[in-house]
Structure 1
Amino acid sequence: MLLCFYDPCSGEITVGGRLVEELSRQDVRAHISYLPQNGGIIDGTFRENVEIGSPGLDEKAAPALLTGLGLDALNGFADKGMALDVSEQGAHLSGGERQRLALVRALLRQTPIILLDEPTSSLDG
């Protein structure tokens, strides 16, 4: 209902203090970052994966989040940083590392709502 796939039978849902019925689906969804159980990693670099959700990447915020979530400890990150290749669907990453990369993407969007679909199910140490 929050993403406007269904209308509520009773009660109301507000986003930014306004009823969702008063907003377009696009406006509602612009307020929400969705973090699914499988984070949807693409073949490419950390930068390309993070930019999916945050065009115009903040050059300081993204690396700080990657470090804060422990992704800077990956083999090769010290040398390549955001240019480190994650391979097709993040095959070189553990499930937890893929999930943390998807979390970085969601946090960088800086939306007031983050919708979580079991995002910690694959997190590892």
Structure 2
Amino acid sequence: MRWQWTSIMLRKILAFLFMLSALLRCVCGAAVEGLDDLRVADEVDGLIRLRCRNSYCELEEICAVSVSEGVADVRFSRMFSEFNLLFMGRDELTKKLRRLGVKVVKGLFGGKSIKTRIKNL
């Protein structure tokens, strides 16, 4: 009986840890799933720099967005992408960064369908 309970709890804990590893996270530990989790740090000459919403976060910039000729370039900071690479493989990280980039561009530009290029700094 005790063995079954331990086995069930272990499965639940492992499933929870797997779910946590599937999220993109800032270096401060906050989950970054979309534009709601980011704030505009700076906007100069068409370049929008976004950072973590936490006020105590030390990371200056999570991503920078620029639009030229109908194409949006989203550049993620190296610290953000390499930190997340520790918790997931490169293929999964690339997919999640692409999804996040598209969400950010749609949120910033009112849901317009703009071609988006994803780059790492």
Normalization by structure 1: what TM-score?
Answer: 0.27
**Higher RCO (C-alpha 8 Å, min separation 6):** 1
Higher strand share: 2
Larger Rg, first or second structure (1 or 2): 2
Normalization by structure 2: what TM-score?
Answer: 0.28
